[in-house]
């Protein structure tokens, strides 16, 4: 395989501990759903999100109709709802601005991003969390604001992470042949989809990550120090 011209990174379990997402970010958003929805200044945004949830209901008619109950139902099932992800991002934005939250990444992440950026490689992020949420995390790490060294951010607006077309679209938007892009994730279903699109892949093995089916079929890495 040729050396990639760009590195595409998942977040949870790849750049960031799963515990930070599930034990810090998700509970923070859940505890503030009601306050955000009922805050007068958020009325227009809330109505837009309410309409998006209603449109999504066609695919999940069993979800409760009241907005807060619907959102909590989605969170309980880790549903990749664009409406929920947008709302979580807005709540986290308030948390980062207040100083309640600070982005957490593994120690090898910032040096690697800096190294790749200095070498002329493009660096991008692809996560089910909104682009806003991604930028908030990487702009507030203990290593400083990393967003100036990240060339692009992608969320499920480009397509599901388990669909091969999503990776083809990402490569095209970065003006790359798929084979010149390397995707790193902790989820083998995502790597399968990327590989089907012709993208190079690596499986991220980090402390606390869930054992993945078919993991032995992928080249693995435990640190970005392994990617020069």
- What whole-number distance in Å separates Cα of residue 52 and Cα of residue 49? 5
Q: What is the CATH number of domain 21-98?
A: 1.10.720.60
Number of CB atoms found within 10 A of residue 190's CB = 24
pLDDT digits (tens, 9 = 90+) for 33-50: 999 999 988 999 999 999
Position 2 confidence tier, pLDDT thresholds 50, 70, 90: confident
Q: What is the mean pLDDT of the chain?
A: 95
More confident residue, 1 or 140: 140
Q: Is pLDDT above 80 for 96?
A: yes
Q: Which pLDDT belongs to residue 109? A: 98
Q: Is pLDDT above 90 for 61?
A: no
Position 104 confidence tier, pLDDT thresholds 50, 70, 90: very high
Q: Is pLDDT above 80 for 228?
A: no
Q: Is pLDDT above 80 for 1?
A: no
User: CATH 3.40.50.1000: does it fit domain 6-16+103-226?
Assistant: yes
Spell out the domain ranges in the chain: 6-16+103-226, 21-98
Instruction: State the average pLDDT over residues 23-40.
Output: 94
Question: Residue 153 pairs with which residues in a beta bridge?
Answer: 125
What single DSSP character describes residue 141?
A: B
Strands (DSSP E) along the chain, which ranges? 6-9, 122-126, 152-154, 181-185, 200-204, 220-221
Q: State the Cα torsion 64-66-68-71 to the nearest 10°.
A: 40
Q: How many residues does the chain have?
A: 228
């Amino acid at each position: 395989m040729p050396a990639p011209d760009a590195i595409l990174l998942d977040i949870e379990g790849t750049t960031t501990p799963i515990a930070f997402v599930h034990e810090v970010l998700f509970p923070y958003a859940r505890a503030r759903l009601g306050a955000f929805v009922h805050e007068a200044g958020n009325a227009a945004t809330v109505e837009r999100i309410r309409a998006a949830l209603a449109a999504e209901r066609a695919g999940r008619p069993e979800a409760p109709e009241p907005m807060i109950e619907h959102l909590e139902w989605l969170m309980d099932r880790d549903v990749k709802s664009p409406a929920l992800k947008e709302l979580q991002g807005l709540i986290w934005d308030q948390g980062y601005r207040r100083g309640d939250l600070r982005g957490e990444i593994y120690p090898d992440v910032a040096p690697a991003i800096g190294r790749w950026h200095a070498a002329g490689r493009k660096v991008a992020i692809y996560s089910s969390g909104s682009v806003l949420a991604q930028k908030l995390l990487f702009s507030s790490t203990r290593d400083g604001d990393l967003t100036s060294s990240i060339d692009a951010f992608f969320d499920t607006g480009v397509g599901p992470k388990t669909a091969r077309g999503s990776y083809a679209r990402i490569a095209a938007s970065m003006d790359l042949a798929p084979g010149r892009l390397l995707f790193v994730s902790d989820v083998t279903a995502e790597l399968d989809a990327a590989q089907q699109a012709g993208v190079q892949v690596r499986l991220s093995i980090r402390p606390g990550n869930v054992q993945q089916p078919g993991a032995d079929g992928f080249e693995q890495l435990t640190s970005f120090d392994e990617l020069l």
